[in-house]
Amino acid sequence: MSKPAVPLLRVKNLSVEYRSDLETVKAVNGISFFLKKSETFGLVGETGAGKTTTALTCMRLLPENTGRVTGGEIEFEGKKLLNLPESEMQKIRGERMAMIFQDPMTSLNPVMPVGEQIEEALKLHNEDNKTKDRIQKRVDEVLSMVGIPASRKCEYPHQFSGGMKQRVVIAMALVCEPALLIADEPTTALDVTIQAQIIEMIRELRERLGTAMIMITHDLGIVAQTCDNVAVMYAGKIIEMGTAEDIYLLSANHHPYTMGLFGSIPNLRTKARRLTPIPGLMPDPTNLPEGCSFSPRCFKKTSVCDEVSPGVYRNGTHRISCHLLKAENHWEAERQ
């Protein structure tokens, strides 16, 4: 904590829209965060909160004809990603920054042996002219690192189970030892036992390789297990951000949405016939409400919430964007 390390990734005021002829979807609305080397950053929120869009924007993989960055900047290893030409971006992707996709069933090419898919990134980023044997050796190494016998690399994706496929996908992302790994819901498509194995493996690999990671998920348990810092997203905004302790400490102040999220986790010890969900749905991203986007569902809503968008309040490492904190001690308004 003595010297502020240079962040590996810094996202500042990023806004992203999806435009079609009929409507404009405001997917991400001015989010900022940064990520240091070998740190894990959790991005949580409901479906449609803009988590995946944020990740795709960092990789510059937004769908070309609809996705548009309308503001902000992304800095990665000192480079401003949004202005880089595509050819430069291709060098960064896979080599410095890699992504694990959500669904292992569809993110592997069905007609290519898995070994070839893993070596693809190595071959594309082969600046130092590694020999074929070296590449093969590295593929074997990565495969055994994720717990798949290297002898299976000539097999096709359909010959693997779901958990094994996800391991292959992770091996693909790790083969070049990237500085930043973006994991977009890496365990959503898997059952719980495999989930635990994969999370454990990701954690181990991170420790071994020192890779920084953005963990996108809607599973609060996974975040608690793996992340150093956490941001809660709602309707394209970060509404609460802090260290994992800040977010998970029940006695601390929280955004009403975060409280709602935690409240909807089933608890074995208390008797309840039903879960307690947050009432209502996320606002329509083509037509966001004025003021706080969460106000229509908020149980602590006041009249000001419908009119003024809340600023960010800060207490140490913990930041919350909610009007309620104006009245709290230790919390001060932050202006960026």
Partner 1 sequence: MMRAELNSEAPNTAADILVFKKESRWKEIWRRLKKDRVAMMGLVIICAVIFLALAANLIVPYSTALKMNMKLRLAPPSAEHWFGCDGYGRDLLARCLHGSRVSLLVGFATSFATLLAGGMLGALVGYVGGKLDDLVMRALDIFSSIPDTLFAMAVVAAMGPGILNICIAISLTNIPGFVRMVRSSVLNIAEQEYIEASRAGGASVMHILSRHVLPNAVGTLIVQTTANVASMILTAATLSFLGLGINPPQPEWGALVSEGKEFLRTAPHLILIPGFMICAASFAMSVLGDGLRDALDPRLRT
Residues that bind partner 1 (CB under 8 A): 59, 61, 64-65, 90-95, 98-99, 101-103, 106-113, 115, 117, 120-121, 124-125, 132-133, 136-137, 140-141, 144, 150-151, 153-154, 156, 158, 169, 172-173
Cα gap 246→229, rounded to integer Å: 9
Nearer to partner 1 by Cβ, of 59 and 312: the residue is 59
CA angle 24, 293, 252 (to 5 degrees): 140
Nearer to partner 1 by Cβ, of 174 and 305: the residue is 174
DSSP state, residue 52: H
> Least CB distance from residue 14 to partner 1, whole Å?
19
- Residue 245 · residue 316 · CB < 8 Å: no
Q: Which among 270, 269, 267, 253 is positioned nearest to 331, based on CA atoms?
A: 253
Phi, psi for residue 79 in degrees, rounded to 5 = -105, 140
Burial class of residue 316, CB neighbours in 10 A (0-12, 13-18, 19+): exposed
- Residue 89 · residue 102 · CB < 8 Å: no
For residue 102, give the amino acid letter: Q
**Residue 197: which residues within 8 A CB-CB, separation 6 or more?**
163
Cα gap 272→5, rounded to integer Å: 46
Nearer to partner 1 by Cβ, of 171 and 261: the residue is 171
> Least CB distance from residue 25 to partner 1, whole Å?
19
> Least CB distance from residue 97 to partner 1, whole Å?
8
Nearer to partner 1 by Cβ, of 39 and 184: the residue is 184
Task: Count Cβ atoms below 10 Å from residue 327 Cβ, excluding itself.
Answer: 7
> Least CB distance from residue 30 to partner 1, whole Å?
25
Cα gap 101→108, rounded to integer Å: 10
Nearer to partner 1 by Cβ, of 149 and 266: the residue is 149
DSSP state, residue 6: P
Cα gap 278→256, rounded to integer Å: 10
* Angle, in degrees to the nearest 10, between helices 114-124 and 132-145: 120
Cα gap 215→227, rounded to integer Å: 8
> Least CB distance from residue 329 to partner 1, whole Å?
45
> Least CB distance from residue 261 to partner 1, whole Å?
27
Nearer to partner 1 by Cβ, of 153 and 206: the residue is 153
Nearer to partner 1 by Cβ, of 93 and 318: the residue is 93
> Least CB distance from residue 65 to partner 1, whole Å?
7
> Least CB distance from residue 120 to partner 1, whole Å?
6
Tell me the two tokens of residue 170. 């992770």
Task: Count Cβ atoms below 10 Å from residue 11 Cβ, excluding itself.
Answer: 23
> Least CB distance from residue 179 to partner 1, whole Å?
14
Nearer to partner 1 by Cβ, of 112 and 265: the residue is 112
184 by DSSP, 3-state: which? strand
Nearer to partner 1 by Cβ, of 122 and 247: the residue is 122
